[in-house]
Structure 1
Amino acid sequence: MIFFGANDAALPLSGQHVPLQTYKDNLRLMVDRIQDPLSENYSPNTRILLITPPPIGDKMWEETCRRYHHPVDRVNAVTKGYADTVTEVALEKNVPVVDLYGAIEGLVTMNRLKNPLVKAVADGSVDTSRKEHVFGLLTDIASPYDGYEMYLADGLHLNRNGNKLLARLILTKVMSEWPELRPIV
């Protein structure tokens, strides 16, 4: 498994930042070292699984950075580019990918849309002529961190639910790609 990118996707002000093209080149190099018969690290029986970085919960991460008097050095919009790059490299190199970024984003959006008031506003069944009232209600009902707290501990690192989700995604992908590795239950 190759799973990195959350630190690489840090903004340039951070010492952890890796430019997106360098990140992409590094991913390609790692896969090539295992897949290329001319590589000294060639390992034809090694199975490669790429994993996208998780999203950043912007509000949570901003709060975490403020708490520790650090500048905000990551934003979700930038991390998305790194996650997309992992998917591109996986397609290019014909290796499977676990889209952790997409899974969490999808779950956060789905949970947000399950909220009856959010759904009613989105589908137009609530009179929004008094927007200040409707959005006041939405603010009261909505999660303070947009739902990312369900999967992230501090806006960057996975919490227990996030790790469980990642484990399920990996197991599902392994069983679909390499059924011979299916665990015996």
Structure 2
Amino acid sequence: MPIYILIQVTSGYSSPQGLVMLDQFFPPVERDKVRLMTVFFGANDAVLPPYKQHVPLQTYRQSLRDIVTHEAVRSHKTKVLLLTPPPVNEYQFEVLDGTSGPAAPMRSAENTKLYADACREVGRSLGIPLVDIWTAFMKEAGWVEGEPLAGSKKAQPNQKLAALLSDGLHLSPAGYKIMYQKTMEVIRAKYPEEAPENLPMLFPPWDKAPYHKTCT
């Protein structure tokens, strides 16, 4: 059976919106099987009120639970990875959210940490493997537990964290590299049968592939 990688990107969505869309992501189980799925919500849920994207922390927790235990996931026997939201950098993001002026901030480093913690808790309670993007980025930034959060305006600007984010929220190429590396580490540790090197090839290697009759 061919193996395809389907990237479903829902720009700006929060976890309850992703939950509503989940049925549309899964093909009929009789036709195809979804072997592995990553769930990467939280960055938009963590927007501060009164902004529209804000999702209360408990609702976020429940939405993650509902996604990973969804009927479609169960019927496909899909393996799931939870990814924490990455940290935010308030210094970079202030250009977008107007916090250098009179407008209320949209995001904070402290609030985003709460959503990363909640994602971690859901993974632990349900036995779902976790890719801890938040911790990986903070480690790269040199943050030490007990100090003001890297990315918070309560701390000095952190150039190492800034290098991982293009605008204080979205990942830069360096950030995506860490995300990829950590995701592959968890796949190989928890779902080794889904590692690229262990998947069957759809087509034979070039030196074993047949030639068209016009070339013989």
TM range (shorter): 0.7 to 0.9
Q: Aligned-pair RMSD on alpha carbons?
A: 2.4
Write out per-residue CA displacement over residues 125-154 of structure 1, whole angstroms, 9 at most, x where no aligned residue: xxxxxxxxxxxxxxxxxx844422110011
- 1:62 pairs with 2:94: yes
- 1:8 pairs with 2:41: no
Give, as a single letter, the amino acid of the residue that structure 1 aligns with 2:126: K
Give, as a single letter, the amino acid of the residue that structure 2 aligns with 1:64: L
SS in 2 for 1:48: strand
Counterpart Cα distance in 2 of 1:176 and 1:40 = 25
Residue segments in structure 2 that go unaligned for 5+ positions in a row: 1-37, 145-155, 199-216
Q: Which residue of 2 aligns with 1:173?
A: 186
2:66 equivalent among 16, 21, 29: 29
Instruction: Work out whether residues 56 and 156 of structure 1, in 8 Å CA contact, stay in contact via their aligned partners in 2.
Output: yes
Q: Which residue of 1 aligns with 2:172?
A: 159
Counterpart Cα distance in 1 of 2:160 and 2:50 = 27
Shift of 1:43: 2.7
Shift of 1:109: 1.2
1:72 equivalent among 105, 111, 120: 105
Instruction: Work out whether residues 64 and 155 of structure 1, in 8 Å CA contact, stay in contact via their aligned partners in 2.
Output: no
What TM-score results when the alignment is normalised by the length of structure 1?
0.73
Write out per-residue CA displacement over residues 44-77 of structure 1, whole angstroms, 9 at most, x where no aligned residue: 6310000000001111112332399764200010
Shift of 1:163: 0.8
Q: Structure 1 residues 90 and 67 mapped into 2: Cα distance closer, same or farther (>3 Å)? A: closer
Give, as a single letter, the amino acid of the residue that structure 2 aligns with 1:80: K
Give, as a single letter, the amino acid of the residue that structure 2 aligns with 1:9: A
SS in 2 for 1:79: helix
In the alignment of these two chains, the number of paired residues is 149
Q: Structure 1 residues 18 and 11 mapped into 2: Cα distance closer, same or farther (>3 Å)? A: same
Q: Structure 1 residues 40 and 184 mapped into 2: Cα distance closer, same or farther (>3 Å)? A: closer
Residue segments in structure 1 that go unaligned for 5+ positions in a row: 34-38, 113-142
Q: Structure 1 residues 144 and 77 mapped into 2: Cα distance closer, same or farther (>3 Å)? A: closer
Query: Which has the higher mean CA deviation after the structures are superposed, 5-14 or 63-72?
Result: 63-72
Equivalent pairs: percent with the same residue?
Answer: 36
Give, as a single letter, the amino acid of the residue that structure 2 aligns with 1:88: E
Query: Which has the higher mean CA deviation after the structures are superposed, 74-83 or 62-71?
Result: 62-71
Instruction: Work out whether residues 60 and 154 of structure 1, in 8 Å CA contact, stay in contact via their aligned partners in 2.
Output: yes
In terms of fraction of residues, the more helix-rich structure is: 1
Q: Which residue of 2 aligns with 1:101?
A: 134
2:119 equivalent among 83, 86, 90: 86
Query: Which has the higher mean CA deviation after the structures are superposed, 55-64 or 68-77?
Result: 68-77
What TM-score results when the alignment is normalised by the length of structure 2?
0.63
Q: Which residue of 2 aligns with 1:36?
A: none
Give, as a single letter, the amino acid of the residue that structure 1 aligns with 2:161: Y
Give, as a single letter, the amino acid of the residue that structure 2 aligns with 1:103: A
1:122-137 paired onto structure 2 within 5 Å: none
